[in-house]
Structure 1
Amino acid sequence: MFDSDSVVSLSNRVYRRRQIVNRVMLTLSGAAVAFGLFWLFWIIITLLTKGASALSFSLLTQPTPPPGADGGLLNAIVGSVLMAAVATLIGTPVGVLAGTYLAEYGNRGWLAPATRFLNDVLLSAPSIVIGLFIYAVYVAQVEHYSGWAGALALAIIVVPVVVRSTDNMLMLVPNSLREAAAALGCPKWRIITLICYRAARSGMITGVLLAVARISGETAPLLFTALNNQFLSFNMNAPIANLPVVIFQYAASPFEDWNRLAWAGAVLITLLVLGINILARSLFRNK
């Protein structure tokens, strides 16, 4: 005979066990989130505590000073903006076109899967390796450091981020939109530019913004390419100042005024990266 009471009691035991497991896992998940947020807030509070006092108008209007003198980070900010802008202009079209090929033309054959695999490898490659690569193929050949070399290194970092975001966003565009446009006689390239790009626009722009946020704080590749410059310079064919390298050098110096400028530069980069991430997630969240 089938005992309904035993089934109920068994189901109750199973339910209680699952409820306990669920509570344990929720507790562990919450603890992991709290652990990660603790370090994030600690880093931000430490940066603001040590760097907020050095934030001033002169920080944005004066170049880096010699030890014991007053100054700012104008030349480093200008150099970082120039190299990031050039890297974005170089890396974004390459990444968008490569991601478009993967999503729209790479449905068959071995090239698209191999490209995705290599792109993932490049996406996770240490930035210092990229800096050494540009040093070997460019800096060593022209025999001088330059802003162009730094921009090329940063562009290589931009490309895989844009490729991944473009590929993923275009893959999310429903095929029914493509089929409807093709049924009306629209050529493939117009389907991509007028329909697919518009549908995936928010995600693609978000990927570009996240790539800019990533290259804003890269130090290792610039040590082998752009190096540094103590003066305000717009010459991209010569060593040029940049915030990550200035922070690296000033933080390791024995001079307290340089240490304060290093903390101030770290605050500027942190606020920039946080601002770009917040902008990317809020501005295009519902589009």
Structure 2
Amino acid sequence: MSLLQRELSDVAMTPDNIRSKRLPLVTNLGIAVAALVVSAALVLGFSIGNWVLVVVLAVGFYLVGLLVVAGRVEGRRAGRDRMWKALIYSACVLAILPLASVVWTLVSKGYSRLDGEFFGTSMNNIGARDENGGAYHAIIGTLEQVGIATLIAVPLGVMGAIYLVEYGRGRFANTVRFFVDVMTGIPSIVAGLFVLSSWVLIVSPWFNDGQPRFSGFAASLALTVLMLPTIVRSTEEMLRLVPGPLREGAYALGVPQWKTILRVVLPTALPGIVTGIMLAVARAAGETAPVLLVAGGAAAINFDPFAGNQSSLALFVYQQAGDASRYAPARAWTAALTLVALVLILTIAAKLLARRNSLSK
């Protein structure tokens, strides 16, 4: 019998030695409980912290204990695998906790003014001792300003990204890409000052008998400046992810480049493009400084975005949070909850519309 045959016969593959030992669930839970007890005893016994430090130390003790016990039962490789898997799960939970905390805080503090009066009235003629008043004027302002900014920024951003990916070559394309990257980090106050100095102080007097005028449209222009780089960069990355053979197949059939982009490339990248657009919309809806600088804010309802001061939900939250009235904080929390719900509804609607495209499935 050869040496190889003897080795194979010594390690015959029977059902008994194929199976490996598994760490029981009870043991895993016991390690977690022991880690929590030891951590609480150290932190609370020596008065060196609160429950946050208890949880942090308990996670560390649990990972070490899991590595040791699982290494004894399942082997060192399986023990390391269990430890890293538990570490990844812990990091996931740690990342979700702030989001869950924000949502819980918004819902718990914002539900008190979820009534018809809040959504149907404005703050016009509402004093500090009046518990009434609502955010109807701010909701109208947000919808108009963000809507106009989206109508301007989305075509410009998508077409700019198409140019950079499909046509852009040379120094000009690199220059455009550089300025888009620079605009990505521009502070919102700078965008507001730019529109204030250019549109409000220079252009708007032409239409107002020589007098500068605040307006919701000016706020939309400032929000457009903030939305453009996000839309361009996200759309550019999604277009680059479209497989080259899709384009080559269309070109081989004699389809022009513009029709290939319109019928093949854009539908394929549509879900990612919609995600980038909604990120830009969410950022624009939450901006306060541009609206305060160029729209001025108003307590009354103004349906005309091209004339007169106009408010927004973000500005309404800012104003109510700094108001001395004891009824103002409840309005601020409800307005913040309304803003988050509005962005969530728009995002879900956009995702559902993008999913209907057959090429994106």
TM-score class normalised by the smaller sequence: 0.7 to 0.9
Matched, 1:43 2:102: yes
Matched, 1:240 2:302: no
The runs of 5 or more residues in structure 1 that have no matched partner are 1-11
Q: Is the 8 A contact 1:206 1:284 kept in 2?
A: no
Aligned mates of 1:39, 1:202 — CA distance in 2 = 27
Aligned mates of 1:17, 1:63 — CA distance in 2 = 66
1:147-176 deviation digits (Å, cap 9, x = unpaired): 111000111122112212221222122222
Q: Is the 8 A contact 2:321 2:329 kept in 1?
A: yes
Q: Is the 8 A contact 2:122 2:134 kept in 1?
A: yes
Partner of 2:191: 130
Partner of 1:77: 139
* Deviation of the 1:24 alpha carbon: 5.2
Aligned pairs for 1:206-245 (under 5 A) are 206-236=275-305, 237-245=307-315
CA RMSD of aligned residues (A): 2.6
Q: 1:96 aligns with which of 143, 158, 164?
A: 158
Aligned mates of 2:186, 2:76 — CA distance in 1 = 44
Q: Is the 8 A contact 1:83 1:150 kept in 2?
A: yes
Aligned mates of 1:111, 1:21 — CA distance in 2 = 51
Aligned pairs for 1:181-220 (under 5 A) are 181-220=250-289
Q: 1:272 aligns with which of 342, 347, 354?
A: 342
- Inter-CA distance 174–147: structure 2 relative to 1 (3 Å threshold): same
Aligned mates of 1:124, 1:22 — CA distance in 2 = 39
* Deviation of the 1:95 alpha carbon: 0.2
Aligned mates of 1:149, 1:90 — CA distance in 2 = 12
Name the TM-score, length of structure 1 as normaliser.
0.85
* Deviation of the 1:178 alpha carbon: 1.9
Q: Is the 8 A contact 1:61 1:74 kept in 2?
A: yes
Aligned mates of 1:263, 1:239 — CA distance in 2 = 23
Aligned mates of 2:348, 2:185 — CA distance in 1 = 23
* Deviation of the 1:20 alpha carbon: 6.2
Partner of 1:153: 222
- Inter-CA distance 20–276: structure 2 relative to 1 (3 Å threshold): farther
Tell me, what secondary structure is at the counterpart of 1:43?
A: helix
State the AA in 2 paired with 1:84.
V
Q: 2:180 aligns with which of 82, 107, 119?
A: 119
* Deviation of the 1:22 alpha carbon: 5.2
Tell me, what secondary structure is at the counterpart of 1:81?
A: helix
State the AA in 1 paired with 2:177.
R
- Inter-CA distance 184–36: structure 2 relative to 1 (3 Å threshold): closer
Q: Is the 8 A contact 2:271 2:351 kept in 1?
A: no
Q: Is the 8 A contact 2:270 2:354 kept in 1?
A: no
Q: Is the 8 A contact 1:145 1:238 kept in 2?
A: yes
* Deviation of the 1:80 alpha carbon: 0.7
- Inter-CA distance 276–27: structure 2 relative to 1 (3 Å threshold): farther
RCO comparison, higher one (Cα < 8 Å, 6+): 1
The runs of 5 or more residues in structure 2 that have no matched partner are 1-70, 205-211
1:63-97 deviation digits (Å, cap 9, x = unpaired): 12412332211111001100011000000110011
Q: Is the 8 A contact 1:203 1:284 kept in 2?
A: no
State the AA in 2 paired with 1:54.
R
Partner of 1:171: 240
Partner of 2:43: none
Aligned mates of 2:348, 2:254 — CA distance in 1 = 41
Aligned mates of 2:328, 2:193 — CA distance in 1 = 28
* Deviation of the 1:202 alpha carbon: 2.4
Matched, 1:31 2:90: yes
- Inter-CA distance 38–180: structure 2 relative to 1 (3 Å threshold): closer
Which of structures 1 and 2 has the bigger CA Rg? 2
Partner of 1:86: 148
Partner of 1:58: 117
Partner of 1:254: 324
* Deviation of the 1:209 alpha carbon: 2.3
Tell me, what secondary structure is at the counterpart of 1:110?
A: helix
Q: Is the 8 A contact 2:297 2:315 kept in 1?
A: yes
